[in-house]
Structure 1
Amino acid sequence: MDTPVTIPPLSRREFLKKTSAAVAGSMAAAGCAGHTPAITPAHPGEPTPHRTLFTNGQLLSLPQGRITPGWSLLVEAGHIAWAGPGTPFSGLEARHIDLKGAYLLPGLMDAHCHMTLPSAASFSPLLGLATWRQLRKNFENQLASGVTRVRDMGAMPPVLGTLVRQVEKGQLAGPDVITCNAIFNVDGGHPDISPSDVSWVAAFGSLFTGAPTVSFKEGELASAFGANCRNADFVKITLDNTSLIAGKPFINRYSDPELATIFRLARDAGKPVAGHAMSRYGVSRALAHPIHSLEHTVSDGPLDEATLKAMADNKVSVVPTTILANLYTLLDLAEPLPKGLLSRRALLEAPIREAYLAAVTEDDVEPAIHENNLAMLEAMQKHPFSELYTRGDYTFNPHLFFPILTHGQKNLMRMKEAGIRIGCGTDAGVPLNYHGAIVRELQCMARLGFTNTEALTCATVNNAHILGVENEAGTLTPGKRADFITMAENPLQDLAALNDLTLIVKNGTVYEKT
């Protein structure tokens, strides 16, 4: 049931003006100084004990939604050696941590994000230092939100590799990363812009940082695939035929033979394929091949029963990233919304988004980047969509996101009812979408019709299967990695309980927020 909400009295223009002023003040105060880490090991500089006994927790079993009090976990060398009620290890030589009745969940997973994207609407040389700080903050904020693993859906591979190595060496607190390297796409395809489109500085910089998209040209498919697939865990492609960029008339897409070749190469390399598909066109193309997962919410119309059955029969998973409907369904742009797009759900999402944006601090995002995003929203209000692309303002088209709250919501619930595995991902890294937003995504899913138990199952048990780590993550059973979180309140009753974590454990190391 929708909860009644009140629209804030500020107009967007007033909101932008007030927020921009606050951002400018925080930028002046922060300067180029380093930031305070969002999360650090509880005992920095000390080695993690070989054996730790966690006692007196309340285990939340998923997908059952069952609570078992008095639960203990014995962790040895980063893995769960024993799990059960009570404390049967009297006199055991180990570090003891009393959970004091806190609720106990497996570490959450973000199955769709971009760890080396700074969530900025555009790039300029003035954002260089802020961008590097933000990329480190991406890792910290993900772990601080209880996310112990992520699936990166398109990165600047050299930069991602540097940050992942820092995490492995204990120089940076962050989740483990499963990666596709860069998005593999035909030249001129999604995500619709290249570094050279942004600026010559971005194009020059990409020679050293890499780009989040590898675009192949005619005759280059196999060699480009091999280079990008090397050391990747999976392959990411895009399947839609419409641009997400406001005012861009078209995008290129794979030919049928090229798409068949991509899936053949992926099969030969033993790599699953994930496909961006917000449209029925994209889903139809994907289902002609052994697609592993479909990304985003299909929202351009109702899915038919044959498509749902094919998805279920082929064991295709879906990561809906419903948070995009909250962030991008802007109600007050210069151009009128197409007839039929505005829904009651969109009106209810608006104040939730505005309250979030008003509450953003430099703990969430570098102030210069937030100011950059607010300027994007201002430009979107000033100019017609048809002019934005030609002006060089590469912004999203909100008209493509409104249907997530109508057709998309209905499609998603029908997928769930059909037994299709649904995961949980934030798409963090794209403009306005700051890392550490897993709770907001879970809450969005709940507002679209998932129970809290179902949403949490998507972020744990289901995501473990989608990421291919079900043998070592997703549940707190012996033999799996010691990745878990605790909280004082019950998230089955209120997902906001996840905003106040009392303990974050990754690979047996205990972290605390700073």
Structure 2
Amino acid sequence: MGLITFKNLMLFDGKSQENLAHAWITVDQASGRIQQIGNGDLPSDIPTIDLNGQYVMPGFINVHTHISLDPQAFDGGFGKSQVETTVLAYQHLRELLKSGVTFIRECGCLFDLDIELSKMQQKGLLTDVPTIMPSGRLFVMTGGHGDAPGAAYQVDSPDEMRKAVRQGLKNGAQNIKMVATGGVMTPSDFMDDPQLSTEEMTAGVIEAHHKHKRVSVHAEGNPGIQNALDAHADSIEHGFYVTAKEAQQMVEQDTYLTPTLIAEWVIPKYGKNKIPSWELNKAADALDDTYKNLTRAYQLGVKFTCGTDAGTVFNGFDQTPAEFELLTKLGMTPAQAYQCSSINSAELCQIQADYGTLETGKFADFIVLKNNPLEDVKAVQQTDKQVYLHGLRQF
């Protein structure tokens, strides 16, 4: 494989506010990286692919997925065998890629499957799915949100957290995912129930940071959000009840927020008469507060990332494009919503040198759309979009 130039396209590179007209991109298909970008005269003597005036933008980075869960199973799909779960996870990865997601940070995976799949990917044995940043199992208190067989390390003291995080990193986790509050899907707790303590999380954050890894914390309500911030977590996942004071602390600490709006939105939309009333009510009651609290956090300067919590009930692996529409309800322009992925998600995952925006030297992970995504945020919801991974077409 040699050089190829994609020509006659409108380019949104993921960092600017406008499209580059009459653009072209030259890709080294051997390395999968962009060699040159321009508009006007094409490089000579290089084969071309004509995109016929369509719109090109970066593939999406989804920093909160659960590929081992089944969104059609009201219990999350726990109880399946490891073999069955592995097949399901591969199918979910393909769904993510077809939707335009070219990189994921998995945020808790049964049986450490994401770690094993990532190892296969690094060996070149798994080339037709998004690039995987694995977290392995969750870190939870005994009886807490996410405490299920094969799903979590049970930790009930700073020392237990320290040892568990060391074990997770030894196993191959590239991100550490902790749980600081209850959640929507657990019948025995609520969003404002504190779970892991600040002291327990701090011990894990220190260990992860020693290895230059990031820590993400499930924290929907308070005091859990505050506990996670005081432990210096790198990202707050969900953050539905974030206060103005906490938002200001996030700005000062450079803490990211992954709102997973779609995960909360789909439950009242699709759940009536299908799921237990306690689960439906938890999500419905929180939705209006979520928009108000997150809008304020965005206005105060908190950095938002793109994550969907894919795998939770009714929350399929094709929903990432819809998350951008919901982000615009917080006051973002379409470009700013996409930059939650192309800039902020890449920075959070510490992969901005290789992924995120479309620039010379970075991997050629991009999608091709019929309509202008900067004018209509729903353009990215096109179901038959072209998807390229490292310069090679996948869909």
TM-score calculated relative to the size of structure 1: 0.69
Structure 1 residue 380 corresponds to structure 2 residue 380: no
Contact persistence 1:472–1:480 (CA under 8 A) = yes
Q: 1:378 to 1:129 in 2, by over 3 A?
A: farther
Q: Structure 1 CA distance, aligned partners of 2:113 and 2:203?
A: 29
Structure 1 residue 79 corresponds to structure 2 residue 33: yes
Q: Structure 2 CA distance, aligned partners of 1:458 and 1:223?
A: 33
Matches within 5 A, 1:270-285: 270-285=212-227
The CA deviation at 1:108 is 0.8
Q: 1:124 to 1:229 in 2, by over 3 A?
A: closer
The CA deviation at 1:420 is 1.3
The CA deviation at 1:423 is 0.8
Q: 1:426 aligns with which of 308, 319, 338?
A: 308
Which residue of structure 2 aligns with residue 59 of structure 1?
Answer: 11
Q: Per-residue displacement from partner, 1:291-318 (whole Å, max 9, x unpaired)?
A: 211101323xx613x3222111111110
Contact persistence 2:62–2:341 (CA under 8 A) = yes
The CA deviation at 1:143 is 0.6
Q: Which one has the bigger helix percentage?
A: 1
Structure 1 residue 139 corresponds to structure 2 residue 93: yes
Q: 1:452 to 1:257 in 2, by over 3 A?
A: closer
The CA deviation at 1:452 is 1.9
Which residue of structure 1 aligns with residue 373 of structure 2?
Answer: 491
Q: 1:180 aligns with which of 125, 130, 135?
A: 135
Q: Structure 1 CA distance, aligned partners of 2:50 and 2:369?
A: 13
Q: Structure 1 CA distance, aligned partners of 2:239 and 2:251?
A: 16
Q: CA RMSD in A?
A: 2.6
Q: 2:280 aligns with which of 398, 416, 419?
A: 398
Structure 2 counterpart SS, 1:135: helix
Q: 1:379 to 1:66 in 2, by over 3 A?
A: closer
Which residue of structure 2 aligns with residue 310 of structure 1?
Answer: 249
Which residue of structure 2 aligns with residue 229 of structure 1?
Answer: 169
Q: Structure 2 CA distance, aligned partners of 1:238 and 1:212?
A: 12
Letter in 2 for 1:135: A
Which residue of structure 1 aligns with residue 200 of structure 2?
Answer: 258
Q: 1:291 to 1:60 in 2, by over 3 A?
A: same
Contact persistence 2:21–2:39 (CA under 8 A) = yes
Q: Structure 1 CA distance, aligned partners of 2:283 and 2:220?
A: 9
Contact persistence 2:267–2:313 (CA under 8 A) = no
Letter in 2 for 1:314: Q
Whichever of the two has the greater Rg, that structure is: 1
Which residue of structure 1 aligns with residue 45 of structure 2?
Answer: 91
Q: Per-residue displacement from partner, 1:269-288 (whole Å, max 9, x unpaired)?
A: 22211111111312211221
Matches within 5 A, 1:405-424: 405-424=287-306
Q: Per-residue displacement from partner, 1:340-368 (whole Å, max 9, x unpaired)?
A: xxxxxxxxxx4xx58xxxxxxxxxxxxxx
The CA deviation at 1:134 is 2.7
Which residue of structure 2 aligns with residue 338 of structure 1?
Answer: none
Q: Structure 2 CA distance, aligned partners of 1:480 and 1:124?
A: 38
Q: Structure 2 CA distance, aligned partners of 1:464 and 1:470?
A: 5
- Taking only the aligned residue pairs, the percentage that are identical comes to 24
Q: 1:286 to 1:102 in 2, by over 3 A?
A: same
Q: 2:239 aligns with which of 293, 297, 303?
A: 297
Q: 2:58 aligns with which of 92, 102, 106?
A: 106
Contact persistence 1:236–1:273 (CA under 8 A) = yes
The CA deviation at 1:508 is 1.8
Q: Structure 2 CA distance, aligned partners of 1:492 and 1:256?
A: 41
Contact persistence 2:198–2:230 (CA under 8 A) = no
Q: 1:98 to 1:451 in 2, by over 3 A?
A: same
The CA deviation at 1:460 is 1.7
Contact persistence 1:322–1:404 (CA under 8 A) = no
Q: Structure 2 CA distance, aligned partners of 1:291 and 1:126?
A: 32
In structure 1, the gaps of 5 or more residues are 1-48, 196-210, 330-349, 355-373, 386-396
Q: 1:189 aligns with which of 144, 150, 162?
A: 144
Letter in 1 for 2:132: V
Which residue of structure 1 aligns with residue 361 of structure 2?
Answer: 479
The CA deviation at 1:509 is 1.5
Q: 1:90 to 1:159 in 2, by over 3 A?
A: same
Q: 1:166 to 1:452 in 2, by over 3 A?
A: same
Q: 1:257 to 1:458 in 2, by over 3 A?
A: closer
Q: 1:156 to 1:131 in 2, by over 3 A?
A: closer
Contact persistence 1:297–1:404 (CA under 8 A) = no
Structure 2 counterpart SS, 1:308: helix
Letter in 1 for 2:338: L
Which residue of structure 1 aligns with residue 180 of structure 2?
Answer: 239
Aligned residues, how many? 385
Q: Structure 1 CA distance, aligned partners of 2:391 and 2:111?
A: 28
Structure 1 residue 504 corresponds to structure 2 residue 381: no
The CA deviation at 1:145 is 0.7
Which residue of structure 2 aligns with residue 437 of structure 1?
Answer: 319
Q: 1:457 aligns with which of 321, 330, 339?
A: 339
Q: Structure 2 CA distance, aligned partners of 1:509 and 1:86?
A: 24
Q: Structure 2 CA distance, aligned partners of 1:75 and 1:89?
A: 11
Structure 1 counterpart SS, 2:67: coil
Q: 1:507 to 1:495 in 2, by over 3 A?
A: same
Q: Structure 2 CA distance, aligned partners of 1:125 and 1:423?
A: 31
The CA deviation at 1:107 is 1.0
Structure 1 residue 117 corresponds to structure 2 residue 69: yes
**Higher-RCO chain (CA-CA 8 Å, sequence separation at least 6):** 1
Letter in 2 for 1:182: R
Which residue of structure 2 aligns with residue 324 of structure 1?
Answer: 263
Letter in 1 for 2:364: A
Structure 1 counterpart SS, 2:347: helix
Structure 2 counterpart SS, 1:445: helix
Q: Structure 1 CA distance, aligned partners of 2:189 and 2:292?
A: 28
Contact persistence 1:483–1:508 (CA under 8 A) = yes
TM-score calculated relative to the size of structure 2: 0.88
Matches within 5 A, 1:204-223: 211-217=150-156, 220-223=160-163
Contact persistence 1:186–1:252 (CA under 8 A) = no
Q: 1:149 aligns with which of 75, 95, 103?
A: 103
In structure 2, the gaps of 5 or more residues are none
